[in-house]
Amino acid sequence: MKVMVTGGAGYIGSHVVKALLGSGYEVLVLDNLDKGHREAVVGGDFIEGDLADKELLDDIFSGHDIEGVIHLAAHSLVGESMEDPGKYYDNNVSRGLNLLEAMINNEVEYMVFSSTAAVYGEPEEIPITEEHPLQPTSVYGESKLFYEKILKRYDQIHGLQYTSLRYFNAAGADPRGEIGEAHEPETHLIPIVLQTVLGKRDELYIFGDDYPTRDGTCIRDYIHVNDLARCHILALEALIEGMPSRIYNLGNGEGYSVREVIKTAEKVTGQKIDAKIGKRRPGDPAALVASAEKAKEELDWKPEYPDLESIIESAWNWHSSGGFS
């Protein structure tokens, strides 16, 4: 069975592709390589192209027997989305709509969509369930919420079956060290901490230590990228077996503060890590922790990396071996 993965050269996408190949699926990756890395795609067919190209999308669906699509291609930086909203609405909504139209025209019925905890905005209660109010504080979160709404209508009107996966903080790397997290510029906490240890960066800032949390720094729910990847396959298989469209949170259900992440990285790397206190980053909620009970129950999904230490260990293995050349 052939699965198309948009954004398959990106951080999460490349781990999804590797997991699909490991489970015996044929894979076709579509990625514009704007942020992705060609060498992160460890197998399958690769097409360099953009979702803006409607003709290409039609050619792909008419030329390949694609059973379902895992759609990860998107811009994903909260800060950037607040400076350049048009870029986010265009890429994450309009171009994503081209993909849905091409799927409908070519009778491809299943989509697993890469969504985000940013659809919830500032949490009213923790842990966050899928029923939590949807009040995104960023254009990024809103663009993902718009797409979820479009998916719901496409289900109602065209019979498209979808699963939307709302990720909390993806982290870690393939344990074999073949692929890992490599953003340019890097904005995420764990890679920044590890790059500081490796001397690739001079300074590490904690973005605010006056939050109403146990140590004043922000709390996040870190989930291993391979646990996320596996859940995409479970979601796709459930759709194909006839499960109706659903939305799931994906996290470990455990929150760690920025200071706790740094402390755990010190333990894993065996090095002392100095951090300065900086200003709060606009749009950062104090705490985001998932309730992922629904995915665990309905998809029979269980994270294999439930603790921060093993997540950071896998990331350290990747970063300390040099990452992509």
Contacts 24+ apart (CB under 8 A), 262-265: 262/193, 262/204, 262/206, 264/308, 264/309, 264/312, 265/190, 265/193, 265/194, 265/197, 265/312, 265/316
Q: Choose among 89, 113, 140, 173: nearest CA to 284.
A: 140
Out of 108, 218, 223, 235, point to the residue binding ligand UDP (CB under 6 A): 218
Q: Report the SS3 class of residue 197.
A: helix
Can residue 169 be called a binding residue for ligand UDP (CB under 6 A)? yes
Can residue 183 be called a binding residue for ligand UDP (CB under 6 A)? no
Segment interacting with ligand UDP, rule: CB under 6 A, options 41-49, 98-106, 184-192, 307-315: 184-192
What would the x/- binding string for ligand UDP be over residues 84 to 123, using CB under 6 A?
----------------------------------------
Cα(261)–Cα(217) distance, integer angstroms: 10
Cα(60)–Cα(74) distance, integer angstroms: 19
Out of 54, 183, 188, 296, point to the residue binding ligand UDP (CB under 6 A): 188
Q: What is the DSSP string of 123-167?
A: -SSSSBPTTS----SSHHHHHHHHHHHHHHHHHHHH--EEEEEEE
Q: Which is nearer to ligand UDP, 138 or 161 (CB)?
A: 138
Q: Is 147 a catalytic residue?
A: no
What does the radius of gyration of the chain's CA atoms come to, in whole angstroms? Answer: 19
Smallest separation, CB 245 to ligand UDP (Å): 25
Cα(88)–Cα(276) distance, integer angstroms: 31
Can residue 220 be called a binding residue for ligand UDP (CB under 6 A)? yes
Q: Which is nearer to ligand UDP, 89 or 207 (CB)?
A: 207
Q: How many residues bind ligand UDP (CB under 6 A)?
A: 14
Out of 17, 99, 119, 206, point to the residue binding ligand UDP (CB under 6 A): 206
Q: Which is nearer to ligand UDP, 110 or 140 (CB)?
A: 140
CB contact at 8 A, 4 and 16:
no
What would the x/- binding string for ligand UDP be over residues 274 to 293, using CB under 6 A?
-------x--x---------
Q: Which is nearer to ligand UDP, 27 or 78 (CB)?
A: 78
Q: Is the dihedral of CA 231, 314, 30, 96 positive or negative?
A: positive
Residues 229-258 that bind ligand UDP (CB under 6 A): 258
Smallest separation, CB 257 to ligand UDP (Å): 8
b (16+ CB within 10 A) / e for 290-306: bbbebbbeebebebebe
Smallest separation, CB 284 to ligand UDP (Å): 5
Cα(188)–Cα(181) distance, integer angstroms: 9
Out of 189, 228, 239, 268, point to the residue binding ligand UDP (CB under 6 A): 189
Smallest separation, CB 213 to ligand UDP (Å): 10
CB contact at 8 A, 247 and 176:
no
Interacting residues toward ligand UDP by CB under 6 A: 78, 169, 187-189, 192, 205-207, 218, 220, 258, 281, 284
Catalytic residues: 140
